[in-house]
Structure 1
Amino acid sequence: MAKFFTPVQINEYKECFSLYDKKQKGKIVAKDLITVMRCLGTSPTFGEIERHLQIHKIEKTGELDFSTFLTMMHRQMQQEDPKAEILEALRMTDKQKKGYIQASELRAKLTMLGEKLTNKEVDELFKEANVKSNGTVNYEEFTQMVTLPPVDY
């Protein structure tokens, strides 16, 4: 499974995994799986967690080792597609199917729904994506811009 992750990712995952390895046995309890995965940037549902456990024949009250955890993380990351999720959410907002929405409407959604952003965070996001606060946002371009991998300094 290590071939799917960089050494940096593996170290980050191991560090987080170890925080929940309360008995220091190299295992976490199944009930902590969703928390660990979410801490590492994925968004599994309870149903997805149940499927991961079923695939590996682990009871809800059972434990899993780091190797099994890596397999589950890989599977979870493959099924999540943030670009598609963002595009779908923005398309649902575009009632006339024009391909764009008002920047003010996008700001309202980003600051009031889901994992709420602050106005300062939205300002930074808009600046990075070259969005004028009084204009329209082409959501295909916006999604492309905000899902680019971060610049490595």
Structure 2
Amino acid sequence: MLLGFVCVCSLELVSGTEEECFCLYDRQRKGKIEAQDLITVMRCLGSNPTPSEVQRHLLSHNIGRSGELDFSTFLSIMHQQLLQEAPEKEILDAMRMADKEQKGFILASELRAKLTGLGEKLSDQEVDELLKEAGVGLDGLVHCEQFAKAVARCCAKR
């Protein structure tokens, strides 16, 4: 290990790759990277955060745009981002919140309204594609677990 960092993340020992990439952007060799380099370092490691996600991560650690972060903070942010990028659980949790009666399914029309009207809005065509992939029944019901798996598969293909 280049700087002697040891950290356990998601029950696995951090590989040297994270440390090597971090060190490439530690230009002043003081064990820190500039906040403005965070998105680049994360993308070098295969993560795909949006600028707003990176800003949110920095704010959660009280780091401004001109601030710096150490390796431990970087690993914490990477861990949070990777959890975010595991869409199946996140989608299933959101589906369960919409399934007020906890039956394991919601109406396709209700899901369509949420996906086209809330948050990062999807187009009708994108929703049609997801519903087709999830195999919506003739009864118009979307089964939460099937939908979450279908969306995760779609994300993995991209």
TM-score range, shorter chain: 0.5 to 0.7
Checking the alignment, whether the CA contact within 8 Å between 1:87 and 1:143 is kept in structure 2 is yes
Give the match for residue 77 of structure 1: 81
- Which residue is equivalent to 2:93? 88
Report what 1:150 is aligned to.
156
Q: How many residues align?
A: 129
Residues 122, 79 of structure 1: alpha-carbon distance in 2 compared, 3 angstrom cutoff? closer
Corresponding residue of 2:7: none
What is the CA RMSD across the aligned residues, in angstroms?
Answer: 4.1
CA distance in 1, matches of 2:117, 2:37: 29
The Cα offsets for residues 67-123 of structure 1, whole Å up to 9 and x where unpaired, read as 899746632334424222211211111111111001111111110011000001111
Q: TM-score, normalised by structure 2?
A: 0.57
Percent identity of paired positions between Structure 1 and Structure 2:
45
Question: Residues 69 and 96 from structure 1, CA distance in 2 versus in 1: closer, same or farther, beyond 3 angstroms?
Answer: closer
- The answer (yes or no) to whether the contact 1:34–1:49 under 8 Å persists in 2 is no
Any conservation in 2 of the 1:99–1:140 contact (CA below 8 Å)? yes
Q: Distance in 2 between matches of 1:89 and 1:119?
A: 19
TM norm structure 1: 0.58
Q: 1:40 is matched with which residue: 43, 48, 59?
A: 48
